[in-house]
Structure 1
C-alpha cells in the first residue's frame, strides 16, 4: 500500500515538473528547462522502478496513470498562475471607442489602432501587446466597454522595440537606481 501512495505522490510531483519543463522549452528558457529536465528524469526513473519492481500490480499501474492525469491538471494550473511570457490581443470593433482606448492606455497597455474595411462597413482593430499575467485584466476591460468585440489572443514568439520594451526598460532602470 505504501508503494501505491508513493507512486501517486511521485506522479503529482513529476508531471507538473514535466509540464513546466516543456513550457520553458517552448519559451526558449533553456537553463530552466534543463534544470527541470534533470529533476524530471530522476523522479521518472524512481517512479517507474517502483511500478515495475518485482510485484507488478494492476493497482500500481492504475495509480501511476491516475497520478499522471491529475499531475497534468496541476501542472497546467501552475503554469497559468505563473503566466510566463507575453500575449497579443487583436480586438475588432464595429465603431471606434476612444474611451476604451484611453482607459487601456492609462492602465499601462500599449494600444495601436488600425482602420480597415470589413464585409459591410468600416472596422477598427486594436492591437495590444501585454504580459500574460495581465491578459485577463485587458480582456475584462474590453468586455465591459465592448461586449460585442471580436478578440483573438495569441502568444508572440519574438518582438523588438515598441511601447512594451520601452516601459520594461524604464522599470528596470528605475529598479536598478533604487537598489544601488
Structure 2
C-alpha cells in the first residue's frame, strides 16, 4: 500500500540531505572548513533519518523511487541555494577593441578595482582589463559592461586565492 505521507517525508528528507551535502561540498572547496564541518554533522543526521525510513519500508518500491526523486531534487535545490549565496569572487577579464576606451575609468568610478593594459590582438591594438568582483555583484558588473561596451569580449573565472592589491584593503585579507 502506498503511504503518501511516508513518500512525502522521504522526498523532503532527501531534498534536505542532498542540498546540505551540495552546500557542504562547495564550502569545503572554497576553504570554509569550519562551516562545512558543522554542516556535515547536520547532513549525516538528515541522511540517517531518510535512510532509516527507506530501510524500514523497503517492501514498497515507491519508497525507493521517492528516495531517488528526492536525491535528484536535492542536487537541483542545493545548486540553486549556492547560486543565491554566491560565495566567493570572480576574476572578470574584459577586452575591448579601443586602447583609448574610457571603460576602466567608468568601472573605477562605480567602485570596481580595475587593472588595465594594452595588448596586441589579431586585428590590432586592444585594451585588456581585469576586474575582481564578489560573485553576488557579478551580474551587475556584467550588465554594466554590456551597457558601456556591448562588443567587449568577456571571460570570467573563479580564483582559488589572492593576496595583495586593491581588494585586500577592502576585505582584510
TM-score in same-fold range (> 0.5): yes
Hey, which bits of structure 1, 4+ residues long, moved more than 3 A? 96-99
The gaps in structure 2 that reach 5 residues or longer are none
Cα distance per residue 1:121-171 (max 9 Å; x no partner): 1111110001111111110000111112111111101111111111234xx
Aligned to 1:85: 88
User: Which residue, out of 47, 52, 75, partners 2:55?
Assistant: 52
Judged with a 3 Å threshold, the aligned counterparts in structure 2 of structure 1 residues 163 and 67 are, in CA distance, closer, same or farther, namely same
RMSD: 1.6
Q: Give the match's secondary structure for 1:165.
A: helix
Give how far 1:79 is off.
0.8
Aligned to 2:142: 139
Give how far 1:99 is off.
3.3
Aligned to 2:153: 150
1:100 partnered with 2:103: yes
Cα distance per residue 1:52-88 (max 9 Å; x no partner): 2144322111111111111111111111111111110
Q: 1: distance between equivalents of 2:141 and 2:57? A: 55
Contact 2:57 2:63 (C-alpha < 8 Å) held by counterparts? no
Give how far 1:13 is off.
1.1
Contact 2:58 2:64 (C-alpha < 8 Å) held by counterparts? no
The gaps in structure 1 that reach 5 residues or longer are 170-180
1:167 partnered with 2:170: yes
Judged with a 3 Å threshold, the aligned counterparts in structure 2 of structure 1 residues 97 and 136 are, in CA distance, closer, same or farther, namely farther
Q: 2: distance between equivalents of 1:34 and 1:102? A: 43
Q: How many residues align?
A: 170
Q: Give the match's secondary structure for 1:88.
A: strand
TM-score (norm 1): 0.88
Q: Give the match's secondary structure for 1:60.
A: helix
Q: 1: distance between equivalents of 2:53 and 2:93? A: 49
Q: 2: distance between equivalents of 1:137 and 1:57? A: 49
